[in-house]
Amino acid sequence: MDFKFNGKSTKVQQLAEYIQDALAANELTVGEKIPSINHLSRQFSVSRDTVFKALSDLRERGVIDAIHGKNYFVASHTKNILLLLDEYSPFKEVLHTILVSRLPKSYKIDLWFHQYNEHLFNNIVHESIGRYNKYLVMNYDNEKFSDVLSKIDKKKLLLLDFGKFDKDGYSYVCQDFDNGLYDALATIKSELGKYKKLIFVLNKFHKHPQSSKAAFSNFCLDNHFEFGILDEILEKTTVQKNYFYLVIKQEDVVEIVKQGNIEGLKPRKDYGLLAYNENPFFEVIQNGIASIGIDWHEMGKIAAEFVLNNHAIQTYLPTVIKKRDSF
């Protein structure tokens, strides 16, 4: 494996990552002796202290061990995991945190975000093929399976979150943005009945599946609720009394609360507010903002089970509502 230091992290971190990658590629096997500190110092043109700290880091992870503080050897198989998500959000951080906490330290997780950029998504996947033991991937599109993923061994790939496409033979843990939304709203049907109109705020350019609009509309029609769909909440938007707002973007949640405050309106008392996907600040804003979505802790746990147990997983997580004092 070719190796050159860069300015992205410390030399200790980079050297430790390089050695762990080499172990994952089976360049050294369990029980085999690792080259000496002096040898590695000369090989990579770094100080003995840098090498010692890198090896100490790997020893802490349980990847290597040493006899009498020297003569390092491979202690366990190291595993490289690719976690490819769409974009950063607090609930994606929950997924990553749970995954890290449930895997041994000898498992190295590379976290990437494709930012819904198809070219970037394809490049990351292409560059990753053959380098990882498991691939945990949020597909680029909810409606279409990305062709590049077919190059990954099915047994090594777990599809996350999106999944309204043929997943035959693949492991997945997804959410249903259509029936799941419909069924979750049905659990608060009686509360929704007191509102004059239900509003779904989802921008037509947002990557949240647009099919959710049809599910929302069908729910309202089936239950005889007056409803509407907005692209977004703007500064000139007036929050209406006795309206209920189901909101995708967290920026729009903030804007609704701001506009309501300007107009002297409060969640629950004057209007209803339900935000998509949990966020820590929902517990403290106003008297609490209710949220709707899947359990990202559970997704992290299932992803860790897939990595550790090599069992096929095919499941949809239920969409649930975390009630707070906003409707």
Cα radius of gyration rounded to whole Å, the chain: 24
Amino acid, res. 297:
H
Fold of 179-293: Rossmann fold (3.40.50)
The residues pairing with 160 across neighbouring beta strands, listed in sequence order, are: 138, 173
- Cα separation, 295 vs 37, in Å, equals 46
Q: What CATH number labels 79-175+295-318?
A: 3.40.50.2300
DSSP 311: -
* CA 55 to mean position of chain CA atoms: 30
Instruction: Say if residues 315 and 299 touch (Cβ distance below 8 Å).
Output: no
Of the candidates 151, 234, 245, the residue with the CA atom closest to the CA atom of residue 198? 245
Class of domain 11-74: mainly alpha
Joined together, the tokens standing for residue 274 give 């339900």
> pTM of the entire structure?
0.78
At residue 268, the 3 state secondary structure works out as coil
Structure letter (DSSP) for residue 33: B
Q: What does 199-225 look like in DSSP terms, one character per residue?
A: EEE--TTSSS-THHHHHHHHHHHHTT-
| 36: DSSP letter | P
**Residue 103 neighbours by CB distance under 10 Å:** 18
For 324, the token pair is 């707070």
pLDDT per residue rounded down to tens, the chain (327 residues): 567 788 778 989 888 888 887 777 767 777 778 888 899 899 888 999 999 998 888 888 777 888 766 678 887 667 889 999 999 999 999 999 999 999 988 888 999 999 999 999 999 999 998 778 899 999 999 999 999 999 999 999 999 999 999 998 999 999 999 999 999 999 999 999 999 999 999 999 999 999 999 999 999 999 999 999 998 887 777 899 999 999 999 999 999 999 999 999 999 999 999 999 999 889 888 889 999 999 999 999 999 999 999 889 999 999 999 999 999
User: Residue ranges per domain, the chain?
Assistant: 11-74, 79-175+295-318, 179-293
| Helix 296-309, helix 90-102: angle, nearest 10 | 30
Whole-number Å distance between alpha carbons of 294 and 119: 28
- Let me know: does 312 contact 283? Beta carbons within 8 Å: no
- CA–CA separation, 257 vs 316, rounded Å? 32
- Measured distance CA(3)–CA(233) in Å, rounded: 49
Task: Tell me, yes or no, if the two domains 79-175+295-318 and 179-293 fold the same way.
Answer: yes
Structure tokens at 38: 């002096």
Give the position of tokens 């977004």: 232
**Cα angle for residues 231, 234, 237 (degrees, 5° grid):** 95
